[in-house]
Amino acid sequence: MTFTEKVKTRSEPFLLPLVRALARVKIPPNAVSIAGFIGVGLAGLAIALGHIGWGGILLLVFGPLDAVDGLLARKTNQASTFGAFLDSTLDRYAEIALFLGLTYYFLKEGSTIGVLLSFLTLTGSLMVSYARARAEGLKMECKVGLFTRFERLLALTLGLVTGFVLPVLVILALLTHYTALQRILHVYRQSRK
């Protein structure tokens, strides 16, 4: 079981009251996915405008909706192929919005290293997700890796809230690409069996 799966399992009891409330008022899981995307998009906008701490707070508030939508879908028997696809697609757009916000912020600040680290982290993040999606398209399991989306968002949130954005981006830039490499090697090993 991955770290992310352990966190999701342990956080489920804390999320259930929210899930039950959403189910009672008949909020569909896809609406929760869209709300999470909009919230994370607003975090990216706040970051772009220089409100780094507020971006972190918005990410802290809206990031957990990524776990709520799937749990709501399962608990209300509304899980669907399209819902899973929409959730994954909006997750990628949300990450792009965050790193676009960071890139714009660092461009305004004249920080070449910030722009470069934002770009490297975004590409690493997308490659981690792409490696899994492509492996699954080839009928291979690929949930391995040190820095999945949960870890990436947690680290970025901590960096934004504490103001240590550049050091966190260094870590993310390195570990996202390391995770993509872990997934490449994992698929290679599976393909050799």
The topology under which CATH files domain 3-191 is Four Helix Bundle (Hemerythrin (Met), subunit A) (1.20.120)
Q: Look-up: residue for tokens 């949930």?
A: 143
pLDDT at 9: 77
Residue range 105-113: mean pLDDT, rounded = 98
pLDDT at 12: 82
- Type of residue numbered 108: K
Look at residue 84 and tell me whether its pLDDT is greater than 90. Answer: yes
pLDDT at 105: 98
Q: Where are the domains of the chain?
A: 3-191
What would you measure as the largest C-alpha separation in the chain, in angstroms?
51
Look at residue 119 and tell me whether its pLDDT is greater than 80. Answer: yes
pLDDT tens digits for range 163-179: 999 999 999 999 999 99
| Number of Cβ within a 10 Å radius of residue 129 | 21
Cut 0.85: pTM above it: yes
pLDDT at 1: 64
pLDDT at 7: 75
Look at residue 140 and tell me whether its pLDDT is greater than 90. Answer: yes
